[in-house]
């Protein structure tokens, strides 16, 4: 999964704003520093707190224009973001999602919505896809 940043140059460096995510911005003194900061800003922006009900847009397909940079989302962040997004779109609480997936307790589900602990097995990804058929796993691996 990747999002797109529009890069702007100023006298003392650069700044960038994510095209698809309002408010996701960063800056850097060099293009190399800016690219690193874009990656960090994007992954932090998509790592929502547990109680967040914000449903962010998915990235647009290939945006090609001058001063547009593609920035990848870390796979664990992408998984957590997508699970939260589709759970909210299906109007489910975390507890309801855990029950639909067949998990014995709430914590077993919650760890997948936290990037630091999201490490699913192939069988767990299959269960996520069964409960959220519109979940596109390609986003995690691209």
DSSP state of 7: E
> Which pLDDT score is estimated for 102?
94
> Which pLDDT score is estimated for 50?
75
> Which pLDDT score is estimated for 125?
94
Kindly give the confidence (pLDDT) of every residue in the chain, 142 residues in length, as a single tens digit, with 9 standing for 90 and above.
Answer: 999 999 999 999 999 999 999 999 999 999 999 999 999 999 999 998 777 888 999 999 888 789 999 999 999 999 999 999 999 999 999 999 999 999 999 999 999 999 999 899 999 999 999 999 999 998 888 7
Please give the structure tokens belonging to residue 45.
Answer: 């922006």
Residue 90, SS3? coil
Sheet containing 68-72, strands listed edge to edge, beginning at the edge strand earlier in sequence: 25-28, 13-18, 2-10, 68-72
> Which pLDDT score is estimated for 65?
86
Question: Phi and psi (nearest 5°) for 60?
Answer: -75, 160
Which residues lie closer than 8 Å to 42 by C-beta, 6 or more apart?
Answer: 3, 5, 18, 21, 24, 71, 73
> Which pLDDT score is estimated for 133?
94
Q: What is the CATH number of domain 2-72?
A: 3.30.160.250
The alpha carbon dihedral of 51, 56, 59, 65 has a sign of negative
> Which pLDDT score is estimated for 7?
97
Q: How long a stretch of residues is the chain?
A: 142
Domain boundaries of the chain, sorted by first residue? 2-72, 75-141
Domains 2-72 and 75-141 equal at CATH topology level? no
Residue 17, SS3? strand
- CATH architecture group of domain 75-141: Orthogonal Bundle (1.10)
Please give the structure tokens belonging to residue 126.
Answer: 């299959």
Distance between terminal CA atoms of the chain? 5
DSSP state of 111: G
pTM of the model: 0.89
Q: Cα(101)–Cα(72) distance, rounded to whole angstroms? A: 28
């Amino acid at each position: 999964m990747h999002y797109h940043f529009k890069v702007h140059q100023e006298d003392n460096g650069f700044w960038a704003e994510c095209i698809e995510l309002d408010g996701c911005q960063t800056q850097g003194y060099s293009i190399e520093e800016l690219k690193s900061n874009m990656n960090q800003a994007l992954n932090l922006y998509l790592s929502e707190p547990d109680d967040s009900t914000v449903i962010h847009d998915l990235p647009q397909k290939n945006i090609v224009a001058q001063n547009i940079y593609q920035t990848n989302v870390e796979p664990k962040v992408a998984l957590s973001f997508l699970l939260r997004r589709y759970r909210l779109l299906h109007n489910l609480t975390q507890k309801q999602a855990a029950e639909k997936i067949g998990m014995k307790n709430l914590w077993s589900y919650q760890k997948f919505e936290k990037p630091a602990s999201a490490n699913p097995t192939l069988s767990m990804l299959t269960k996520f896809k069964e409960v959220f058929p519109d979940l596109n796993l390609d986003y995690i691996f691209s």
